[in-house]
Structure 1
């Protein structure tokens, strides 16, 4: 296949690009290399892709998905078979400071992706949604069959909007679309604004870590390799229509259109303090903790019901927290020579 991967210099996008190259697919990686976080890390991820033995099948395009003038030409010229759309303005807390960035990248950018798919016979669009769409929902575990109409951040609202926009295109144009609600992804080459990265850096530098909600969070931490496996399995399984879908009792997770949303998580929520203790053990060093209240836009707990993904593509997350954190710490020490 020829696959467009947007956000190819990002954490998840770089891993997905490598996986596709490994199995022999042709990959066009798109990223605008913005400075939301350390540009040198993004460039290092790209260099890693370019060092792959199958790198002759990789083409990098520096472009923002919200570039309405150039995105149509990219689709028309490259003739992709499928699209993995991972580019987005990420971060719940940053959405409080710079809301317009989320409209530009996550709404306008997604519109450009949908239009590119519509006009170029794309076989399947798989795109990043987020566990944040569950917002004020307190029913655990979070199920794709739950209502998600109460987001508590603009980031979450933009991801819910993506799901609705995708459904419209699946309904109107028969475009198969699948949204994946990621649950706290972590691992080597991760994002510097995520907790594991921030905690590791601070602990090694002997600085205190900020622990929000006084450490009473639970998160369904999901290792990057398990996430990538789920993405690829989903990409290879075009979203089907649910012929038994009933408009009188509508199921929020399926449709009569070729549209799906799935949770993709480890299905094993971990208490934040346990997560920190596992990191301390891997680092061989204790953390000094600043215990702080719940931040605006955050939710106390996340817990994924992934049965739909297991049933449809045989998704089986298998990486333990101890193993995953150990792998991250080993990468961090080597990459930053600590």
Structure 2
């Protein structure tokens, strides 16, 4: 199969590209290489993909007429590209144009494809809101511009299933960790603070926040398992993550244990829209995809520390 992966030079997108290639698919990546975080990291990921024979097209999804620059024989789309997270440096317009307009233009492109099998939208537990412990039938209550716009993007994609224009699904991911995690995310930042002897900014009250910290390899297992299961997943929203919860404080302690060093903490004001608890309800993923994440928090942290040491220490 020929597969397009948007956000291919990002954290989870790059891992998914590699897995799809390993499974024997023809993989085409797309990324706009924006400056939300270090371009050097995206370029490092791109090189890893190039070394495996995967080409990454530099293209912004917010440009219309994508059919003029992208292949016309794509069978699957895995849509990771988005304005991510909760950031004071991102405006509502950033979220709106990247997550909604970009998705709409990608849908328009998918509608031009002749042998198109499935549009896989990559969603987020942030869609649920401040508490994300629910099954997929629960009414969403997003508490950030990120969550609101990711919900809108999800519905734009699933609308096409309801209209019977193409098959689609949306996978809501939970607190993914591992090698290539973005530099502003918790574990990469913790590891960097440990090696650079700088203080980790801990948001007030967040030490007790609960998270389904899920290793990226386990997440990718679920993502690629939709291939061949189109009839099962069409029109569906599916949670992917681990059922095991850890506090932020336990995450800090895991990094300290792996590196063998205490991390300095700088307590800072709480962040609006930050989730209080995420625990992935994956009964649906188990039933439809035989999904079974197994990597422990400590195993995931060890892999991420080794990646960081290889490239940045």
Cα deviation 1:54-81 (Å, max 9, x = unaligned): x1xx332110111113x12245x43101
Whether the aligned pair in 2 keeps the contact of 1:218 and 1:302 (CA below 8 Å) is yes
Question: 1:176 & 1:126 partners in 2: Cα distance?
Answer: 9
- Which residue in 1 is equivalent to 2:121? 127
- The equivalent residue for 2:146 is 155
Contact 1:178–1:239 (CA under 8 A) maintained in structure 2:
no
Count residues in correspondence: 311
Q: Which residue does the alignment assign to 2:164?
A: 173
Q: 1:68-147 counterparts in 2 under 5 A?
A: 68-69=64-65, 71-75=66-70, 77-94=71-88, 97-121=90-114, 122-136=116-130, 138=131, 141-147=133-139
User: Out of 252, 265, 278, which is 1:276 matched to?
Assistant: 252
Question: 1:195 matched to which residue of 2?
Answer: 186
CA contact (8 A) 2:167 2:230 kept: yes
Match of 1:259 in 2: 235
In structure 2, the gaps of 5 or more residues are: none
Question: How far did 1:291 drift?
Answer: 2.9
Separation of aligned partners in 2, 1:323 and 1:167: 35
Segments of structure 1 that go 5 or more residues without pairing to the other structure are 242-257
| 2-structure distance, mates of 1:307, 1:293 | 36
Q: Cα deviation per residue 1:64-123 (whole Å; 9 max; x = unaligned)?
A: 111113x12245x431011111111111124x7422111111101100111122221421
Q: Distance in 2 between matches of 1:231 and 1:276?
A: 28
Counterpart of 1:125 in 2: which secondary structure? strand
Paired position in structure 1 for 2:263: 287
Tell me the TM-score normalized by structure 2: 0.95
Q: Distance in 1 between matches of 2:18 and 2:198?
A: 35
Q: Given the alignment of the two structures, is residue 184 of structure 1 paired with residue 175 of structure 2, yes or no?
A: yes
| Contact 2:9/2:56 (8 A) holds in 1 | no
User: What root-mean-square deviation, in Å, do the aligned CA atoms of Structure 1 and Structure 2 show?
Assistant: 1.6
User: For the Cα contact (< 8 Å) 1:187–1:224, is it kept in 2?
Assistant: yes
Give the TM-score, by structure 1 length.
0.88
**Distance change (3 Å), C-alpha of 1:333 and 1:289:** same
